[in-house]
Amino acid sequence: MLRRVLHHSDLPTISTAVDAYNLASMKTIVPISGFDYERLTPPFQVRFARGNEKFAGIGMTEPIPLESKMLVFGNGKQVLCIYPYRDCDHTKITLKTHTAMIVGYGAPGISPAQLREAVETTLSFIKQVSGGEIEAVETFQSTTGKQ
C-alpha cells in the first residue's frame, strides 16, 4: 500500500474495515492482511510453497503457479497470502464478512513489540470504523530458533 502511495497510484476502496487495515499498515510500515474468518481452516503456518500449488490472489483473473522458494502464509489446504503482500481472493474481507482475522507480518528489523503494536493499531482503526469486538491478539516467532 505504501508503495502505491509513494508512486502516486490510487488506493482501492474496498470496505471500511479493509481501508482501516490498509491505513494501519501504511502508518506502522508493517504488512497487514485481513481474512474472512468464516472461510478459513486452522491451523495456520508460514512456510515455503510446495511446487504444485496454485494461488488465486485478489484481483487475479487466473491462478498462478507458485515456486517452491516463495514464502507463503496458509494452512495445509491452501495458500492464504504470498508473504507478505498478496492475499487470497477466496478468503478476502467483503461487505458480507462478520468475523475477520488480521495478520501482521514480521520481517528483519521489526521487533515483536513493533509487530504487536501494528496489529493493535490495526484493530483499533477497524473498531473505530466498523465496531465489533477483539477476541485475541497473539504473536508468534520462528520455531527454528533463527530470528
pLDDT band at 145 (very low <50, low <70, confident <90, very high): very low
How many domains, the chain?
Answer: 2
Global confidence as pTM: 0.84
Say yes or no: 34 and 95 in one domain. Answer: yes
Give the CA dihedral 35, 107, 43, 17, nearest 10 degrees. Answer: -20
pLDDT tens digit sequence for 97-112: 999 999 999 888 889 9
Say yes or no: 79 and 52 in one domain. Answer: yes
pLDDT at 147: 42
Say yes or no: 104 and 122 in one domain. Answer: yes
Asked whether residue 144 is assigned to any structural domain, the reply reads no
Contact of 28 with 116, CB cutoff 8 Å = no
Q: How many CB atoms are closer than 10 A to CB 92?
A: 20
Asked whether residue 143 is assigned to any structural domain, the reply reads no
DSSP-based three-state secondary structure for 135: coil
Terminal CA-to-CA distance of the chain, rounded, Å?
Answer: 26
Say yes or no: 28 and 99 in one domain. Answer: yes
Boundaries of domain holding 104: 1-39+91-137
